[in-house]
Amino acid sequence: MDKILRIDMGAEGGPKAKETGLDAYSGLGGRALTSSIVAGEVPPLCHPLGAENKLVISPGLLSGTGAAMSGRISIGCKSPLTGGIKESNSGGQAAQVLARLGYAAIVLEGKPPGDSLYKVFINKDGVKIEAAASLRMLPNYDLIDKMKEQYGDKIACISIGPAGEMKLSAASIACTDPELRPTRHAGRGGVGAVMGAKGVKVIVLDDTGLKARPPKDLEKFRAANKIFVAGLSSHPVTGQALPAYGTNVLTNIVNEAGAYPAYNFKDGQFPGASKISGETFAELETQRGGNPTHHCHRGCVIRCSGIFNDKNGKFLTKQPEYETVWAHGAHCGIDDPDAIAMLDFLDDNYGVDTIDMGVAIGLAMQAGVAKFGDAEAAINLVKEVGKGTPLGRILGSGAAITGRVFGVENVPVVKGQALPAYDPRAVQGIGVTYATSPMGGDHTAGYSIATNILKSGGYVDPLKPEGQVELSRNLQIATAAIDSTGMCLFIAFAVLDQPETFQALIDLLNSFYGLELNAGSVTDLGKKVLTVEREFNKKAGFTKEHDRLPRYFYTEPVAPHNITFMVKDEEMDKLFDW
Amino acid sequence: MSETLAGPGVSHFFHRRQKTEDKTFMKITVKLFASLRKDRFAIEKREYNPGQSVRDVLAGLDITEGEAAILFINSRHADPATILNEGDTLAVFPPVGGG
């Protein structure tokens, strides 16, 4: 993983690939690398769909090694959704395979003339870029079937669906899972639109003949991995709850906490929550011959993914994630698991972010385009995206655009990106993360739910403003670092609670690279990443006034706690002072 | 602990006996989630003597305090020592996470 593959999509005579060393980017991976390249090479004022933007795809520092949980990939660019820097993170097989192929990053640069469309194939023998007009507007599942026919089933794919080709600002980039299904997505920020603008439909990766990356100190690496895996397996969240129920185990608890936004953030609890909870989904999946316990990439020991079969026992989609279930469920007043699973499939197939897509549908419902709770209407609205109708293009451009087009006042977005499944009034810490993250409205960037609601890594009262800025700051720093390692963020539940598991993570990095990092180095890396991202955003025109929630969260209380967001602006403005 | 909550693992089958012994019992809605539902229930309206705490309810259901990692009374975080009041809803979660 000591080289960068740069493909100039706008080169004369067709796309040209060249390999470079890491040079100034040496020692970086994942989000640290994508954000450094974007901040260092992309003019902050460029148009996100223009030739000056770059799409950077980077496995983490430990991806492609024998380290458990190391299969996360970072995809960065200037976001067409937020107008700021973006790192969108995905599971699936791509990170491991790309890392074994030796690439710390693929950088798509320039822009082809007209509407040319290409596919990129990379294996141990090199890189092939071919015109791919026959793949135009194929949904992800059909596309991957074609790739399997052509390249066999030992591949991993990174692809866009019709939404990406149409350059819709909620378009995602799909990564295939171990069964070669396009179920894992870099969903947020419209990264799929940037891939579409580069004219790349799919990147096919084949690591046949290549081995796991060798650590500098194999013995120490193996020992650290053993402790790391034991820590994940013995922790009740990563060893029991996540494998048994997946991320959607949160529906009941967030609803119980009064922080589960229903009917476009009108209420903090949804009457149909138990019908769409993780418990219900897991039971359905087991009954129908699916599986609630599945790994999204090889080497995952948490296995929070799952397989959802339809009523006839036929595969429909992966187990929809908590945020998806919320966005298409409670937010739209829908309590039918089968409808939500269908929406999840359609989103994956067309290639759109389930959060921005679901929130956009809810806003359309608010505006009277359909009624809250009408699952059939929701499905038809998402199908409009696949068809590329004007209505579909509006919805597929995300919540902010949809809200504006339909004249909705209460639009839950920050920096243009839809807020996910936690009401910031009932969980004040997550409100701070939504407001201040350089990524825009995002929960993973500083997941205060862990501490505010789940009592993981301590406890800060979710209903009070005190302590939330510090909590969000520490989590944003830790997350930026973890996102650079290729590790799944869910290791944090065990790492926050168990010092020996945290140490094992550091030992994995040290024994692999021959480094002497400590906890302080991890914090420094996180701060460095955030600083680079903030600087890019500043140059792109963001000010402290952009680090705020939509006004109504400050003025309209939400039941059952009947409170507003109370963290002071001045306090939030100090979050990145270090 | 009241006699109606005496036997771990079985007490919830007998909680209604309390009615005949104490007319001033409290009605508490108890909700259990995820793995705690196994061999128990998802939701029940149950009756307890006034002054009883979350800890008493957990003991009666044979749930250890380690298993009951997250507790809510009426949507607010509670502790095992919290005293219950008539009409309360108690929600009990094992350690969970996601996102």
Res B2: pLDDT: 36
Q: Give the CATH number of the domain where residue A335 resides.
A: 1.10.569.10
Res B99: pLDDT: 80
The dihedral formed by the CA atoms of A447, A449, A454 and A455, expressed in degrees to the nearest 10: 80
* A551 C-beta neighbours (distance < 10 Å), count: 10
Whether A463 is covered by a domain: the verdict is no
User: Is B42's Cβ below 8 Å from some Cβ in A?
Assistant: yes
Best of A267, A454, A482 to mutate (most B CBs within 10 Å, chain B): A454
In this complex, do B94 and A450 lie within 8 Å of one another by their Cβ atoms?
A: no
Both A199 and A268 in a single domain? no
pLDDT at A422 over 80: yes
Q: Give the CATH number of the domain where residue B60 resides.
A: 3.10.20.30
Helix (H, G, I), strand (E, B) or coil at A21: strand
User: What percentage of chain A carries pLDDT values higher than 70?
Assistant: 100
Whether A478 is covered by a domain: the verdict is no
* A251 C-beta neighbours (distance < 10 Å), count: 30
Res B3: pLDDT: 34
**pLDDT (tens digit per residue) in B19-52:** 455 568 999 999 999 999 999 999 999 999 999 9
Both A158 and A26 in a single domain? yes
Please report which confidence band the pLDDT of residue B5 belongs to, taking 50, 70 and 90 as the band edges: very low
Whether B62 is covered by a domain: the verdict is yes
Average pLDDT over residues A182-187: 98
Q: What is the pTM of this model?
A: 0.95
Find the closest chain B residue to A562 by CA distance. Answer: B75
Whether B40 is covered by a domain: the verdict is yes
Q: How many structural domains is chain A composed of?
A: 2
Whether B98 is covered by a domain: the verdict is no
Both A196 and A289 in a single domain? no
Both A406 and A270 in a single domain? yes
**pLDDT (tens digit per residue) in A341-375:** 999 999 999 999 999 999 999 999 999 999 999 99
- The CA–CA distances, whole Å, from A22 to A6, A165, A221, A516, B14 equal 11, 30, 24, 21, 69
pLDDT at A159 over 80: yes
**pLDDT (tens digit per residue) in A22-33:** 999 999 999 999
User: Is B37's Cβ below 8 Å from some Cβ in A?
Assistant: yes
User: Is B76's Cβ below 8 Å from some Cβ in A?
Assistant: yes
* A190 C-beta neighbours (distance < 10 Å), count: 36
- Residues A383 and A246: their CA atoms lie apart, in Å, by 27
User: Is B38's Cβ below 8 Å from some Cβ in A?
Assistant: no
User: If you search the block for the tokens 């956009």, which residue do you land on?
Assistant: A360
Q: Do A479 and A445 touch, CB atoms closer than 8 A?
A: yes
**pLDDT (tens digit per residue) in A374-412:** 999 999 999 999 999 999 999 999 999 999 999 999 999
User: What percentage of chain A carries pLDDT values higher than 90?
Assistant: 99
User: Is B1's Cβ below 8 Å from some Cβ in A?
Assistant: no
- Residues A360 and A331: their CA atoms lie apart, in Å, by 10
Q: How many structural domains is chain B composed of?
A: 1
Residue A405 CB partners (closer than 8 Å, separation 6+): A394
Interface residues from chain A to B (CB-CB < 8 Å): 235-238, 240-242, 244-250, 252-253, 256-258, 269, 274, 278-279, 304, 322-323, 443-444, 447, 449-450, 453-456, 459, 461-463, 489-490, 493, 560-561
Domain that holds residue B53: 12-93
Q: In A, which residues are within 8 Å of B76 by CB distance?
A: 463, 561
Both A272 and A134 in a single domain? no
**What SS3 string covers A560-577?**
CCCECCCCCHHHHCCCCC
- Residues A91 and A185: their CA atoms lie apart, in Å, by 7
Domain that holds residue A25: 3-205
Q: Do B54 and B90 touch, CB atoms closer than 8 A?
A: yes
In this complex, do A258 and B94 lie within 8 Å of one another by their Cβ atoms?
A: no
How close B86 gets to chain A, by Cα (Å)? 19
Partner residues linked to A576 by β-bridges: none
Locate B32 and state its tokens: 């259990």
Q: Give the CATH number of the domain where residue A109 resides.
A: 3.60.9.10
DSSP A106-123: EEEES--STT--EEEEEE
In this complex, do A454 and B42 lie within 8 Å of one another by their Cβ atoms?
A: no
How close A535 gets to chain B, by Cα (Å)? 28
Please report which confidence band the pLDDT of residue A457 belongs to, taking 50, 70 and 90 as the band edges: confident
How close B99 gets to chain A, by Cα (Å)? 6
Please report which confidence band the pLDDT of residue A454 belongs to, taking 50, 70 and 90 as the band edges: very high
Res B1: pLDDT: 33
b/e map B16-52, b = 16+ CB within 10 Å? eebeeeeeebbebebbbbbbbeeebeeeeebebbeeb
Whether A90 is covered by a domain: the verdict is yes
Partner residues linked to A57 by β-bridges: A75, A106
